[in-house]
Amino acid sequence: MLRRILISAGAVAAGVALLVLIPLGLARDPAAICIDDPRTFPEAGIEGWSGEQLENAATIVRTASALGFGRDGQILGVMTAMGESSLENIDYGDWETRGFTNPDGTPTSSIGLFQQQEWWGSVEARMDPATAATMFFERLGRLPDWQQLPPSHAIHRVQVNTDRDYYARFQEDAAAIVDALSGTCTADPA
């Protein structure tokens, strides 16, 4: 009996050491990520998104927040840019890459993070991440029921793409990025 207790006590002690050492050794302080300081973004990225992609996501989150959109709206903005441009501010779109046309047969003119066509605004406006995000959120805000729609369907109503479920695949990654960028910043930006 004493031997069984000693083995159990040893197993418990080893388990406690693992529970304490592993999380402490692997933990990363999420508060060290400062949305306004890209130098604090994890070099390895967040869910595979890194560098300029995270900088663009941060712009989307800041813009949404400034316009009064909370976490749900911020996630929709990041999901949209993931699906439209892989969070890269590109100066070409579906016409150049896939030959897509508008319903009237004209070439698409989509550019920027949100792949917005010319009726959204000037080239300069669509290529400026904060302005492009503002245009997206202004349209999203005009949808009276966007919070009740599945996220991808709400985005579809703003973007008017061909597949209303297309953006759903980006929801988990977008939520992880928004959550990581939304923590209280405690790192020294100097």
- Per-residue pLDDT of 122-153, as tens digits, reads 989 999 999 999 999 999 999 999 999 999 99
Q: Is 157 helix (H, G, I), strand (E, B) or coil?
A: helix
> Is 187 among the domain residues?
no
- With contact defined as beta carbons under 8 Å apart, do 133 and 113 qualify? yes
Euclidean distance between the first and the last CA atom of the chain, given in angstroms as a whole number: 60
Residue range 101-129: average pLDDT? 82
**Lowest mean pLDDT: which of 66-70, 85-89, 140-144, 181-185?**
181-185
**Mean pLDDT of all residues in the chain?**
82
Query: Which uninterrupted H or E stretch holds 14?
Result: helix 2-26
Confidence bin at 190 (pLDDT 50/70/90): low
Indicate whether 57 belongs to any domain.
yes
67 part of a folded domain: yes
Q: How far apart are CA 182 and CA 150, in angstroms?
A: 22
Tell me if 162 is assigned to some domain.
Answer: yes
- In-domain check, residue 6: no
Euclidean distance between CA atoms 129 and 119, whole angstroms = 17
Q: How confident is the model at residue 17 (pLDDT cuts 50, 70, 90)?
A: very low
What pTM value is reported for the model? 0.78
Domain annotation covers residue 133: yes
* Residue 22 is assigned to a structural domain of this protein: no
The domain tally of the chain equals: 1
Mean pLDDT confidence for 99-109: 61
Average pLDDT over residues 19-29: 37
Tell me the residue range of the domain where 61 lies.
Answer: 35-181
